[in-house]
Amino acid sequence: MSSNKKSQLYLPNNFCRSFLEALDHLAGKNGVSTVLNLASLKKWTDAYPPDDLDKQIDFADFARINQSLEDLFGIKGGQSLSRQAGWTIFDHSLMPLPGIEETLKGAQTELLPEERSHLAIKTLSDILNEVSDITSTTEITQIEPLISIKTCPVCWGRSASSPTCSTLLGIIERTLVVFADGTDYVILEEKCIAAGDSGCGFSIRQNHQK
């Protein structure tokens, strides 16, 4: 369930454009059109938002797209699609930002794998805070890195019985793949505003099953 009430908090245009272009590839043009119609966002059916960093995508609109994915494809199917679209947001909207490539090269040549994972989530958190109205913090515990989101564009105005922010999970996952060989990590969303928590929280754990 989602609300139509605007948040007055915004994502860059190209976050939403990358997300919709990924869905276009994954679900087809007709699938994206159906999702946008369900989300009451027909204005983007023929023309996706521009490829720029202007903050014009209200969190409530982006959240309704994510909700409509679950309504159309089921919770599991919709979250799988949004997770994969999150990878594309990182590749097309975050990776090209100034300084990211230099940070990545330094991490790969100078840091241990564990240090790279810590740098990855800190870098991601800083970027999200800088280019959007997402409020993100990180914490490095003795067990695992944590990233917390206080204002979330994926579950804004939504209610759910369990964590539902697969788009953010996908972005975090792709960040770790690029920075820190993410195949060695498992990302879990353990808290979610839509499920009644005060914030959305993600833990990054080493995968010891290999």
This model's pTM is above 0.85 = yes
Which string of DSSP letters, residue by residue, matches the chain? -------S-EEEHHHHHHHHHHHHHHHHHHHHHHHHHHTT-GGGSSSPPPSS--EEEEHHHHHHHHHHHHHHHHHHHHHHHHHHHHHHHIIIIITTSTTHHHHHHHHHHHS-HHHHHHHHHHHHHHHHHHHSS-EEEEEE-SS-EEEEEEE-TTTTT---SS---HHHHHHHHHHHHHHH-GGGEEEEEEE-GGGT-SSEEEEEEE-TT-
**Is residue 102's pLDDT more than 90?**
no
Query: What proportion of the chain, given as a percentage, has pLDDT over 70?
Result: 94
Which residue did the predictor score with more confidence, 165 or 109?
A: 165
Each residue's pLDDT tens digit, 12-33: 999 999 999 999 999 999 999 9
Each residue's pLDDT tens digit, 19-78: 999 999 999 999 999 999 999 999 999 899 999 999 999 999 999 999 999 999 999 999
Which residue did the predictor score with more confidence, 112 or 42?
A: 42
Q: Model confidence at 116, in pLDDT bands (50, 70, 90)?
A: confident
